[in-house]
């Protein structure tokens, strides 16, 4: 197992380099640059000054040189300075990443604890009213875009009812308290969870349906085991195997969703930072965030594979 994990990690290195090459190229293909965006339509700023800034920032080098310089710095653990904010990129990411993690994992766990039982119930009561309602809500959850749901939630629960704060990660300048953090976290986490919750419910349902019809389920019942034990010990454990693969796969979608959800809720995570940096063409920041999220997604998949082996003893990695 240990050797397998190490091998997998080594395998990801060329993959990650590939990702950075593609991102770097795509980013440079987009019109504009970190200097142009805010300054080029200002009659007050001379083209010569901008040229001098470009030179000082190394933006006049050929793209492959710029890439190699960037990669060289990265290998030494240096993400460089933000072109726009003029502070080390790593500083901002370290400040913001924990917030995104908090949001992602909360909604991940919410999605998990809500959708798995719903999927199981739906499968057990196949074609019942419960099943139909769960299915209906699932499709609704898949179809509704995050930004709309987020705004509706804010309008209803924050503006109309005043139950929750309308945005932010904590009360402005208030003292730190867990309760305060939780109440700010709940709405964005739930909104972020909806889309994937819906998908997960559907996967759990179909996977459970398959398992429920298996011989060993009948055997378990014949042994006289309690229904609960049959379903949750024998059924769910087998039914979860494909679901875990899915969990690994939906990790990137949490990142994507976080970008939008963070903007709506003013959540100070890297999603918001990413949007800002894309609009400002802040190359170093874009690359750092792309790399960090690529690493996380790759690790997420690895984690899913390992969990796979834990849940299903038949699978072993050599």
> C-beta of 279: minimal distance to other proteins in Å?
6
Give the number of other CB atoms < 10 A from CB of residue 5.
Answer: 13
- 47 part of the interface to other proteins, by CB under 8 A: yes
Residues 253-312 that bind other proteins (CB under 8 A): 263-269, 272-273, 275-276, 279-281
Q: Are 282 and 213 in contact (CB under 8 A)?
A: no
Q: Among 3, 10, 29, 41, which residue sits at the site for other proteins (rule: CB under 8 A)?
A: 41
User: Residue 263 or residue 291: which is nearer to other proteins going by CB?
Assistant: 263
Residues 187-246 that bind other proteins (CB under 8 A): none
Q: Are 194 and 149 in contact (CB under 8 A)?
A: yes
Three-state DSSP string of the chain: CHHHHHHHHHHHHHHHHHHHHHHHHHHHHCCCCCCHHHHCCCCCCCHHHHHHHHHHHCCCCCHHHHHHHHHHHHHCCCCCECCCCCCEHHHHHHHHHHHHHHHHHHHHHHHHHHHHHHHHHHHHCCCCHHHHHHHHHHHHHHHCCHHHHHHHHHHHHHHHCCCCCCCCCCCCCCCCCHHHHHHHHHHHHHHHHHHHHHHHHHHHHHHHHHHHCCHHHHHHHHCCCCHHHHHHHHHHHHHHHHHHHHHHHHHHHHHHHHHHHHHHHCCCCHHHHHHHHHHHCCHHHHHHHHHHHHHHHHHHHHHHHHHHHHHCCCCCCC
Question: Which region, judged by CB under 8 A, interacts with other proteins, from 54-62, 103-111, 134-142, 289-297?
Answer: 54-62
Question: Which region, judged by CB under 8 A, interacts with other proteins, from 38-46, 192-200, 210-218, 248-256?
Answer: 38-46
Q: Distance between CA atoms of 262 and 204, rounded to whole angstroms?
A: 28
Residues 57-76 that bind other proteins (CB under 8 A): 57
Structure-token pair, residue 68 = 């190699």
> C-beta of 140: minimal distance to other proteins in Å?
21
Question: Which region, judged by CB under 8 A, interacts with other proteins, from 62-70, 129-137, 158-166, 218-226?
Answer: 158-166
- 6 part of the interface to other proteins, by CB under 8 A: no
User: Residue 202 or residue 272: which is nearer to other proteins going by CB?
Assistant: 272
User: Residue 276 or residue 312: which is nearer to other proteins going by CB?
Assistant: 276
User: Residue 123 or residue 169: which is nearer to other proteins going by CB?
Assistant: 169
User: Residue 144 or residue 151: which is nearer to other proteins going by CB?
Assistant: 151
> C-beta of 58: minimal distance to other proteins in Å?
11
- 5 part of the interface to other proteins, by CB under 8 A: no
Q: Are 23 and 286 in contact (CB under 8 A)?
A: yes
> C-beta of 72: minimal distance to other proteins in Å?
19
Q: Among 50, 183, 217, 225, which residue sits at the site for other proteins (rule: CB under 8 A)?
A: 50
Reference 104, options 201, 195, 192, 196; nearest CA is 192
Query: For the window 102-141, what string marks contact with other proteins as x by the rule CB under 8 A?
Result: ----------------------------------------
By CB under 8 A, name the binding residues for other proteins. 30-32, 35-50, 52-53, 55-57, 81, 84-87, 92, 95-96, 99, 147, 150-151, 154-155, 158-159, 162, 165-170, 172-173, 263-269, 272-273, 275-276, 279-281
């Amino acid at each position: 197992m240990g050797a397998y994990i190490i091998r997998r990690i080594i395998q990801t290195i060329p993959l990650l380099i590939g990702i950075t090459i593609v991102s770097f190229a795509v980013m440079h293909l987009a019109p504009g640059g970190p200097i142009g965006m805010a300054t080029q339509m200002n009659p007050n700023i001379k083209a010569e000054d901008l040229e001098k800034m470009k030179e000082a920032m190394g933006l006049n080098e050929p793209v492959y040189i710029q890439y190699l310089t960037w990669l060289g710095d990265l290998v030494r653990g240096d993400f460089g300075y933000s072109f726009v904010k003029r502070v080390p990129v790593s500083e901002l990411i370290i400040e913001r990443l924990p917030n995104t993690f908090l949001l992602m994992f909360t909604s991940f766990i919410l999605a998990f604890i809500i959708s798995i039982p719903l999927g199981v119930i739906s499968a057990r009561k196949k074609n019942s009213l419960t099943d139909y309602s769960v299915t209906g809500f699932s499709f609704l959850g898949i179809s509704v875009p995050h930004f709309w749901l987020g705004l509706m939630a804010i309008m209803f629960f924050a503006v109309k009812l005043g139950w929750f704060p309308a945005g932010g990660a904590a009360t402005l300048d208030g003292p730190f308290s867990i309760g305060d953090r939780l109440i700010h976290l709940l709405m964005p986490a739930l909104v972020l969870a909806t889309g994937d919750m819906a998908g997960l419910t559907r996967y759990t349902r179909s996977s459970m349906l398959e398992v429920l019809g298996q011989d060993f389920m009948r055997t378990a019942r014949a042994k006289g085991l309690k229904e609960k034990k049959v379903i949750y010990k024998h059924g769910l454990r087998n039914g979860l195997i494909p679901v875990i693969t899915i969990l690994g796969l939906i990790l990137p979608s949490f990142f994507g969703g976080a970008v939008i959800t963070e903007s709506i809720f003013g959540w100070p995570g890297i999603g918001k930072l990413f949007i800002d940096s894309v609009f400002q063409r802040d190359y170093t920041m874009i690359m750092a965030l792309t790399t960090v999220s690529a690493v996380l997604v790759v690790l997420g998949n690895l984690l899913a594979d390992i969990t796979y082996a834990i849940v299903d003893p038949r699978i072993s990695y050599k």
